[in-house]
């Protein structure tokens, strides 16, 4: 992202001087009448403000008991040129306790980057009532950055309900929960700023990018915490921020819960996530000038910049400078939309592609390949 460093949200906090002083400004006074020329009507009535405040409080009481802080101790890595390993790496994050369809017991949804490479016995979970316990089993999917922890907690534990992220609307209120800077049981509020964000650079392992963007305050240590709607259901798993400083700048990203649920289902049922691929490389910088040059009247679709030999893309007849407009009747919005859509398709599925080529629409047919067998060689 231009001018921003996009960071995964692991970390810890050190408070210098023993005590952190916080200055709280006085409440702003609402004007008695609407400003001249405003068409928004009179200021919000106090009872409506109180109702919203009550709703925030009720959701916080409901969700916080199901939010856990996660501490993972990962093995040290070999130092180049030395036979010695570095010290073990300690990372902290967050998670949320859920129950999954057709599965017995309790599970914690979090991020792969929080717990990856840490054995279950080195992953400690802290509940809101001060209970602590270890993970029993770990399933991870680096490509979506989703991780599932199997747990056997002492006694009953509260769970959060998972919602439908496909129904998330830009502008709706949301609450973000987690352990920023090691401050457990933190809740912040904001709105959904955008959907289907894929222009986020998070390293080579995270390939599936379809984030909800929010301006709720999210900071290092919040990774894996839930993003919750006003129904009190989890619609996202907080993952990353875009920031100059590495701290909250009002641009944060969450994995849609529908994606997390699908990944969790496959991890628990099959042990891994099956993904389709075509074997082509699409550009991440499709600009209006490029669209005009190609004869398109809008910046839409996935612009092909490379087709790998011996792949489903090559077999289907795709060429460099093609723009993939549709797959099985689904209009392709961006390059990440194409990557995410193909990845959800089972290997072997037949598909029909509508492609913009030489200022005309061309129809091609192909077969989705198996990404697990080809990921060491090819792109999306």
Residues serving a catalytic function are 113, 145, 223
Instruction: Report the sign of the C-alpha dihedral through residues 272, 277, 279, 285, in that order.
Output: negative
DSSP letter for each residue of 152-191: --SS----PPB--GGG--TT-EEEEEE-GGG--SEEEEEE
Long-range contacts from 302-310, C-beta under 8 angstroms, 24+ separation: 302/332, 302/334, 302/335, 302/337, 302/338, 302/339, 303/335, 304/280, 305/281, 306/280, 306/281, 306/379, 307/279, 307/280, 307/281, 308/279, 308/280, 308/281, 308/377, 308/378, 308/379, 310/279
Phi, psi of 193 (to 5 degrees): -85, -30
167, two tokens: 């129904």
Tell me which residue of 223, 246, 128 sits closest to 176, measured CA to CA.
223
199 near 1, Cβ under 8 Å?
Answer: yes
Query: Are the C-beta atoms of 209 and 143 separated by less than 8 Å?
Result: no
């Amino acid at each position: 992202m231009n001018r921003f460093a996009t960071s995964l949200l692991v970390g810890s906090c050190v408070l210098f001087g023993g005590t952190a002083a916080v200055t709280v400004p006085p409440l702003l006074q609402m004007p008695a009448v609407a400003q001249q020329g405003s068409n928004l009507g009179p200021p919000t009535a106090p009872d409506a403000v109180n109702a919203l405040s009550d709703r925030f409080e009720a959701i916080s009481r409901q969700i916080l008991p199901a939010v856990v802080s996660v501490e993972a101790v990962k093995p040290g890595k070999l130092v180049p040129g030395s036979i010695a390993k570095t010290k073990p790496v300690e990372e902290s994050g967050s998670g949320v306790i859920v129950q999954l369809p057709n599965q017995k017991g309790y599970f914690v949804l979090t991020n792969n980057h929080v717990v990856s490479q840490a054995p279950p016995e080195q992953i400690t979970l802290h509940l809101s009532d001060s209970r602590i316990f270890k993970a029993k089993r770990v399933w991870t999917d680096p490509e979506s950055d989703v991780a599932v922890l199997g747990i056997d907690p002492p006694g009953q534990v509260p769970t959060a309900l998972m919602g439908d992220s496909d129904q998330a609307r830009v502008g709706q209120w949301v609450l973000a929960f987690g352990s920023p800077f090691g401050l457990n049981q933190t809740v912040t509020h904001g709105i959904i700023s955008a959907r289907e964000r894929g222009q986020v650079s998070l390293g080579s392992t995270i390939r599936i990018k379809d984030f909800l963007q929010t301006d709720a305050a999210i900071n290092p240590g919040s990774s894996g915490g839930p993003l919750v709607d006003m129904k009190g259901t989890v619609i996202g798993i907080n993952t990353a921020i875009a920031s100059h400083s590495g701290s909250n700048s009002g641009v944060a990203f969450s994995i849609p819960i529908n994606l997390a649920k699908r990944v969790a289902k496959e991890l628990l049922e099959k042990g891994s996530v099956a993904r389709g691929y075509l074997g082509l490389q699409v550009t991440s910088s499709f600009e209006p000038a490029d669209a005009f040059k190609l004869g398109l009247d809008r910046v839409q679709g996935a612009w092909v910049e490379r087709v790998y030999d011996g792949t489903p893309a090559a077999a289907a007849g795709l060429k460099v400078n093609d723009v993939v407009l549709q797959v099985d009747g689904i209009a392709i919005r961006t390059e990440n939309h194409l990557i995410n859509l193909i990845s959800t398709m089972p290997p072997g599925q037949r598909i029909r592609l509508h492609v913009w080529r030489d200022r005309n629409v061309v129809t091609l047919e192909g077969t989705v390949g198996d990404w697990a067998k080809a990921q060491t060689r090819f792109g999306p």
